[in-house]
A and B are shown apart, each in its own frame.
Chain A
Amino acid sequence: MHKPEMPPGAMVLLILRVLHSGPLHGYAIAQRIHTLSSDALRVEEGSLYPALQKILLKGWVTAAWGTSETGRKVRFYKITRAGIKQLEAEASQYDRLTKAIQAILRTA
């Protein structure tokens, strides 16, 4: 079954958004995006982990070791103040962009 591709840049936005509601580990982030999109978006580990490393370097999230629901030691990612700011900025920008695209799609 064909899954729609994630637009470039959206991965960071989505990760930040799902972390905004609370710290999660990597697999849970993927799962959450999957369910929240009603199974439309599927996050591959090949794009999730590079994106996470990038966000860590930017200082938008921090990572801390915790225990998963299955009782395994795993890294939990937690959004930072800078991350929230980035999320707000990117979300509003994304909003403007989609509105503009939709306006064109409707009228043109």
Chain B
Amino acid sequence: MLRELLRRVHYLLNRRRFDDELADEMAFHREMADKSSGVPLGNALRLREDSREAWGAMWIDRLGQDVRYAFRAMRSSPGFTAAAVLVLAIGIGATVAAFSAFNMVALRPLPVRDPDSILRFGRHTAEQSSSRIPYPAVAFYREHTRTLSAVFAQIESGLSVEGAERSASTSFVTANFFEDLGARASQGRLFSVGDARPDAPPAIVLGPGFWASHFGSDPSVVGRSVRLNGQAATIIGIVAREFSGLGGDSPAFWALLDQHAYFVHGSQVLTDFSSGVAMWGRLAPGASPQMAEAELATLAAELRRQHPKDIWKDERLLSKPGGHAELLGVVEVFTIVGFLVLLILAVACGNLGSLLLARGASRQREMALRSAIGAGPGRLIRQLFTESLVLALMGCAGGLALGSLVLKLIMSWANGPTWLDPTPDWRVIAFALAMGVLSSVLFGLTPALHTARQKNLRKTTTFGRTVLIGVQVASSCVLLIVAGLLARAVERAAFADPGFEYERVIVVEPSLAEHGYNAARARTYIQDLSARLRGLSGVEDVSVTSTPPLSGLKIMAPFTRDGREFTVYIHQVDPRYLATMKIPLVRGRNLIEGDESAVVVSESLVQRHWPDGDPVGQPFKIGEETLTVIGVAGSARLLSPGDPDTVELYRLVRANDFPGLFVVARTSGPTEAMAPAFSQVANGVDPNFKPQVQLLKQRFEENVGDIRRGALAVSVLGVIALAVACLGVVGLVSYSVAQRTKEIGIRLALGAQSRHIVRSLTRQFWRTIIVGLVFGVLGAAGLAQLLRRELYGLSTIDPIAYISAIVLFILAVGLAALLPARRALRVDPLVALRCD
């Protein structure tokens, strides 16, 4: 076997010489045969090719021929080639951009040293779990573990910076963090173990984003002293752009966990079992995640003997891979994006398929000639398909370039993390190639079969084109409708009444828990702060909540109704909260002090839970507790403004909740003018730290902006798809006009009215377009269901979105069909009859 293979390779490499020898030999055969019998022999070249087939290398020669031929054919029609490559590049580019984004976020590991050996740990028992682990426990595990070669911990805090309006996000990490993860400083140096010594001077490291935005990328900031939360610290270096960290955060500052209490006044994170930090570990050589989990479970049990209250019974530390970005919701989002870009590719392929079919019809003569000189249908199909493949590969190269460029633009536009690198890697290139081959099958195979078969060409061509147009219509219709749905969602989010006041509300976040306040001290602080704010002129109302609107903080509880599970948002508030946020009370009474087991529910919850009946006086269970409904408030989408399905309830804050409370205040005038006074008041309550003051209006606008960007992106995709589909229709009708010039001429000569001509030309397409539209609407409805899970505020049955998308589509397609059809009317009967 091996020898045969070697001989084959030998033949392949020396095939020119062997071919000459064979030709010589066969020529001799002919000479002899001629002399003896005079029997006519077959085509010499053909016979020789048959013989060479035995070597098994013919396909290489044929491929070479076909590729050469394809290039020659392309050169002879540069317009067609350019259009085809462009359409394909758009189609493939869209998929490539989506895939490289997915690759960047989900497939590639984080750019840190040996990401596969990093584990993220969380606390678990049968009843409860937490992603945060108390720092004293982390220190204990670090000291005793043998399966982990390094343990990292991190906690985030917002610190105020001189000269910056907003507080700067700061990640506090253990001293080994940068060194073990292989991070590089672009200026200065990063933390080393020496910086964590108790007598070491406070040091901070700048993130590349903040260095650029706040310090103008000035290298001389290294060594300079800055004040964070009023505490002096020296900037020792700047982290390189490509460093990602482990938590997916791009903080303004990196600081040492050991110095948390220096920056955050009163912090007890290093000694307190009630708070927690994120913990990662690096597996020691030879250790497996199971070994690490088993060892840590034993260590947790040991620690529980020392701290029975702080470590849970049967507590285990479970691990998950820590070297990848967190994938919350990423897969779902990319499923949707994937659908949308594949639709664009489908439109592009359908379009190109019809272009190729039209070209196939005009190449009929060439095909007839080729088959007359001995090319079988298989050979012709192979040749035509090779041409498609060459086109696809060119489109693929174009798509790769276009996709990467678009991704780069999107990333700079959306202010993505600096460490994400949009340069295509082997996965992206392989994906682009696969898309190229796939699309060449999609757009090239049917035309190749039709053209090569040559049977009933006109009829099958029209049928093939009809199918291809149908695909384009359906796909672009889906994109347009989805774009319409998203645009309407934006409109609703931006302009509809969210059910609460956001224009004139200011949120004060003192982060008392972080500053080591216990419940009693926190209560005094909150009361003091509320009273002082109430004393400001221009403040209308002040109250407290544990989950300020639009902050991303949510407390949720599940409840079941008729076998379906729902989630209710729980607002822990004081009795004034509804009034402060201008949420109306529609039935029953409001909460009063001491209403420990009473609850006010939203109208949306009433519709869900007591669709027919008065909820007031009814019990409502949250977990183990049973509360009594005392009133009904208007629906207010405080926590996710776009989601019309949220249901919420309000109950009183309890004594233990105070360290985590926020103060909200409504002002009589614009909040911008009031913010400085708020800061001044808030800073005065405890001079050791500065609470954050935020305008609710800003958060609201950011929230709407996210949805708006999404809708804009889908609209752009929809318009691209529509444009490509219209091009397809223009091409189809023009082709049909060109084919029927003679017929039209005769009809005109016999006195046909122009509208009859136009109607007969476009009639055949209307059915296709309508069938395509129906499929498109169905597809869009299906996709909307999927989108609905990710994007609230999107209504799956939004007649305005559907109708406007369909009307836009019919207008565009109708115009695209009529323009070339009108050309038919200018046909001069005499000229038409004279041609062919």
Chain A: residues with CB nearer than 8 A to chain B? 25-27, 30, 44-46, 49-54, 56-59, 68, 70, 72-75
- Once the chains are docked, how many angstroms separate the CA of A50 from the CA of B21? 14
- Once the chains are docked, how many angstroms separate the CA of A30 from the CA of B29? 9
Q: How many residues of B contact A (CB 8 A)?
A: 27
Within 1-44 of B, Cβ neighbours of A (below 8 Å) are at: 3-4, 7-8, 11, 21-22, 24-26, 28-33, 41-42
- Once the chains are docked, how many angstroms separate the CA of A46 from the CA of B7? 23
Does B53 make an interface contact (CB < 8 A)?
Answer: yes
Within 419-456 of B, Cβ neighbours of A (below 8 Å) are at: none
Shortest B574–chain A CB gap in Å is 91
Out of B3, B4, B24, B26, which one reaches A45, CB within 8 Å?
B26
A50 lies within 8 A of B28 (CB) = no
Does B82 make an interface contact (CB < 8 A)?
Answer: no
- Once the chains are docked, how many angstroms separate the CA of A59 from the CA of B51? 16
- Which has the most chain B C-beta neighbours within 10 Å: A27, A30, A44? A27
A57 lies within 8 A of B42 (CB) = no
A49 lies within 8 A of B22 (CB) = yes
Out of B4, B33, B41, which one reaches A27, CB within 8 Å?
B33
Residues of B within 8 A of A26 (CB): 25-26, 28-29
Residues of B within 8 A of A58 (CB): 4
Shortest B132–chain A CB gap in Å is 70
A57 lies within 8 A of B32 (CB) = no
Does B747 make an interface contact (CB < 8 A)?
Answer: no
Across the two chains, which residue of chain A brings its CB closest to B11?
Answer: A57
The 10 closest A-B pairs by CB, nearest first: A53-B54, A49-B51, A54-B54, A27-B32, A50-B51, A27-B29, A46-B47, A50-B54, A53-B51, A74-B28
A52 lies within 8 A of B51 (CB) = yes
30 of the cross-chain contacts (CB-CB < 8 Å) are A25-B28, A26-B26, A26-B28, A27-B28, A30-B29, A44-B42, A45-B26, A45-B30, A45-B33, A45-B41, A49-B47, A49-B48, A49-B50, A49-B51, A50-B53, A53-B52, A53-B55, A54-B54, A56-B7, A57-B7, A57-B8, A57-B11, A57-B54, A57-B56, A59-B4, A59-B7, A72-B31, A73-B24, A74-B24, A75-B25
Shortest B37–chain A CB gap in Å is 10
Out of B28, B30, B31, B55, which one reaches A57, CB within 8 Å?
B55
Out of B28, B42, B55, which one reaches A68, CB within 8 Å?
B28
Residues of A within 8 A of B11 (CB): 57
- Once the chains are docked, how many angstroms separate the CA of A74 from the CA of B28? 8
Shortest A66–chain B CB gap in Å is 12
Across the two chains, which residue of chain A brings its CB closest to B46?
Answer: A46
The total of interchain contacts (Cβ-Cβ below 8 angstroms) comes to 64
Across the two chains, which residue of chain A brings its CB closest to B42?
Answer: A46
Across the two chains, which residue of chain A brings its CB closest to B50?
Answer: A50
- Once the chains are docked, how many angstroms separate the CA of A51 from the CA of B50? 10
- Once the chains are docked, how many angstroms separate the CA of A73 from the CA of B28? 9
Shortest A64–chain B CB gap in Å is 11
Residues of B within 8 A of A68 (CB): 28
B47 lies within 8 A of A45 (CB) = yes
Across the two chains, which residue of chain B brings its CB closest to A45?
Answer: B29
Q: Beyond A50-B51, A57-B4: 12 further Cβ-contacts under 8 Å?
A: A25-B28, A27-B28, A46-B50, A49-B22, A49-B48, A53-B52, A56-B7, A57-B11, A58-B4, A70-B32, A72-B31, A74-B24
Residues of B within 8 A of A73 (CB): 24
Across the two chains, which residue of chain A brings its CB closest to B55?
Answer: A53
Across the two chains, which residue of chain A brings its CB closest to B39?
Answer: A42
Residues of B within 8 A of A56 (CB): 7
- Once the chains are docked, how many angstroms separate the CA of A44 from the CA of B39? 11
Shortest B414–chain A CB gap in Å is 60
Across the two chains, which residue of chain B brings its CB closest to A52?
Answer: B51
Across the two chains, which residue of chain A brings its CB closest to B21?
Answer: A75
Residues of A within 8 A of B56 (CB): 57
- Once the chains are docked, how many angstroms separate the CA of A51 from the CA of B41? 18
Residues of B within 8 A of A25 (CB): 25, 28
- Which has the most chain B C-beta neighbours within 10 Å: A26, A57, A70? A57
- Once the chains are docked, how many angstroms separate the CA of A45 from the CA of B50? 10
- Once the chains are docked, how many angstroms separate the CA of A49 from the CA of B41? 14
A59 lies within 8 A of B3 (CB) = yes
- Once the chains are docked, how many angstroms separate the CA of A44 from the CA of B29? 10
- Once the chains are docked, how many angstroms separate the CA of A30 from the CA of B28? 13
- Once the chains are docked, how many angstroms separate the CA of A51 from the CA of B21? 16
Residues of A within 8 A of B28 (CB): 25-27, 68, 72, 74
